[in-house]
Amino acid sequence: MPKYIGIVNYLTDKIARNEIKTEQRLPTIRELAALFHCSKVTVVRAYTELQQNHIVYAIPQDGYYLVHKNKLDNSSAVINFAAASPDENVLPYREIQHCLNQAIDKYRYALFNYAQPQGLPSLIEVMAKYLVDYQIFTKPDNLFITAGAQQAIHILSTMPYPNNKTNILVEQPTYNGILQFLATSNIPVLGIERNFQGLNLAELERTFAQNNIKLFYTCPRFHNPLGTSLSPNERKQIVKLADKYDVYIVEDDYLSDLERHSNAYSLYYEDMSSRVIYIKSFSKMLLPGLRIATVVMPPIMAECFKKYKKWMDLGTSVLSQGALEIYIKCGMIKTHRKKIQKVYKSKMQLLNEKVQAVGFPNIKWHVPEVGFFACAEFLNKVDISKLICRLKEKDIIINDIRENYLDSYYNNKILKLSVSKASLNDISEGIAAILDEIKRQG
């Protein structure tokens, strides 16, 4: 038996006997290396194993801690392939709590007044420098802090644009949140198909040319819900078409923190004509309850965006902004980014291994290297709704991809899975059950 497995068993045994409690730091790497007469690398591998199974979590320069037992207990009954929110077991809640406490002290006087509509000036300065890591270069005057990406989408969908156009174009399928908002607000919306091969650029050009499009909303990478990313050439061509036909692009880069390829650039990076509005949410990386996102606006639209934002909320939470500023400045965010990349990569790797181990000739699986979403594409006729209902009876929860479509575009041959909240054990058990149910129907 490998020595690191012995360390894993030692720690899990102590946890089971309640000798290690939440809020109590686990033995240090040095202590365990001395106890087991092994290298520190072996101990780190043991702790990595425990982290990937959501038993412990790490705080940089502090140590390892036991994940709260309530979190573990609540995840045992139902296997959740429906949620698009992040895995709470890998969120840095202790670190954010520390930053919130510091923010209360640092910004205590600002709490007595409304925040500035653009955002906390000190956070904006920090954010402008931080975004350089993502190849997003902007002046602070064009950068805004919003209460999550959803608020940014609401403002961008309702405000006027320099092109004086009226219609909004969305990919099909797309993020359910924008579809629900547009429907309830009676805003004109058109669709363009996005499939597992990408976008039909000729069709996109026709749509831009003929349909009075003011903005095109897109998730270029780790698409919600397909999980796919557009190719570099597609990204360049989309930006060129937007410039040619006087269309603005809203780029929702909600999972940019999971990008592992240094040459995978955003649409914003390719934009030389100030056509791209860039949104980066921190909800999937940090605590969703912080409700923080940043928006990079074209200079010509910055004042209009500020006006609309001011009369929507008078200013984003100072505490949330202050906590994020401190979290970025102290460097913890970069360490956490590496951690979540490993966690979500391990989930997708396991998912891919499980589906590839059992071959079905009439199913094509689309599993990205990392991300939240993966899909099964059925090449024959199958009742997706019935499949989802049968799996629900087995406590496996999956959402119908219908919610991501305008009615006229619905594709009833795609089963979407989100691994964001599923543990490795959930993925192993859940995929086995899904494949078994597909076999029964097939």
pLDDT digits (tens, 9 = 90+) for 342-372: 999 999 999 999 999 887 888 999 999 999 9
For residues 27 and 123, state if they share a domain.
no
Name the pairing type of β-strands 373-378 and 414-418.
antiparallel
pLDDT digits 0-9 by tens, 93-147: 888 888 888 888 888 766 666 678 899 999 999 999 999 999 999 999 999 999 9
In a domain, 79, yes or no: no
Q: DSSP secondary structure string, 204-262?
A: HHHHHHHS-EEEEEE--SS-TTT-----HHHHHHHHHHHHHTT-EEEEE-TTGGG---T
pLDDT at 13 over 90: no
Query: Do 210 and 314 fall into the same domain?
Result: yes
Q: Are residues 307 and 381 in the same domain?
A: no
Q: Do the Cβ atoms of 8 and 43 come closer than 8 Å?
A: no
Residue 48 burial (10 A CB sphere; 0-12, 13-18, 19+): middle
* 8 Å CB contact between 242 and 163: no
Give whole-number Cα distances, 419 to 355, 376, 423, in Å. Answer: 14, 13, 8
Residue 241: CA atoms inside 13 Å, Cβ hemisphere, count? 24
Same domain, 343 and 411: yes
Q: Are residues 214 and 323 in the same domain?
A: yes
User: Is there a contact between 266 and 257 (Cβ–Cβ < 8 Å)?
Assistant: no
- Asked if 46 and 127 sit in the same domain, the reply is no
Identify whether residues 186 and 203 lie together within a single domain. Answer: yes
Residues 319 and 356 in one domain: no
pTM of the model: 0.82
What does residue 264 show for φ and ψ, rounded to 5 degrees?
-95, 95
317 or 390, which is more confident: 390
Q: For 366-388, what is each residue's pLDDT tens digit?
A: 999 999 999 999 998 888 999 99
- Is residue 391 in a domain? yes
CA 210 to CA 411: how far, in whole Å? 25
Picking from 330, 355, 384, the residue at the C-terminal end of a domain is 330
Q: Is 85 domain-assigned?
A: no
Residue 11 structural domain = 3-73
Instruction: Return the structure tokens found at 133.
Output: 């890591």
Sorting pLDDT into bands at 50, 70 and 90, what band is 435?
Answer: very high
d(CA 24, CA 15): 11
Residues 16 and 59 in one domain: yes
- The larger pLDDT score, comparing residue 231 to residue 76, is at 231
Residue 95 CA to residue 92 CA, distance in Å, equals 5
Give residue 116's pLDDT: 85
pLDDT band of residue 406 (cuts 50, 70, 90) is very high
C-alpha closest to that of 382 among 358, 359, 408, 412: 412
Is the domain of 116 the same as that of 60?
no
Q: Is residue 81 part of a domain?
A: no
- Is residue 89 domain-resident? no
For residue 381, give the amino acid letter.
K
Section 62-70 average pLDDT: 69
Return the pLDDT at 20. 82
Decide the pairing of beta strands 396-397 and 79-80: parallel
pLDDT for 333 beyond 50: yes
Q: Name the domain count of the chain.
A: 3
| For residues 274-281, average pLDDT | 97
95 CB-contact burial (10 Å; exposed 0-12 / middle 13-18 / buried 19+)? buried
Judgement on whether residues 193 and 106 belong to the same structural domain of the protein:
yes
From residue 35, give the alpha-carbon distance in Å to each of 28, 49, 56, 320, 330. Answer: 11, 19, 20, 42, 33
Can you say whether the dihedral through the CA atoms of 89, 396, 350, 228 is positive or negative? negative
C-alpha–C-alpha distance, residues 436 and 142, integer Å: 52
Residues 134 and 195 in one domain: yes
Sequence-ordered list of residues with C-beta below 8 angstroms from that of 170, at least 6 positions apart, any chain: 178, 179, 182, 189, 190, 191, 192, 216, 217, 406
| Orientation angle between helical segments 40-52 and 3-16, nearest 10 degrees | 50
What is the model's pLDDT at position 415? Answer: 96
What's the confidence (pLDDT) of residue 73?
A: 44
Structure tokens at 99: 């930053």
Q: What are the helix (H) ranges across 17-164?
A: 29-36, 40-52, 69-74, 93-106, 121-130, 148-158
Per-residue pLDDT at 72: 42
Picking from 283, 307, 330, the residue at the C-terminal end of a domain is 330
Least confident of 80-94, 119-133, 240-254: 80-94
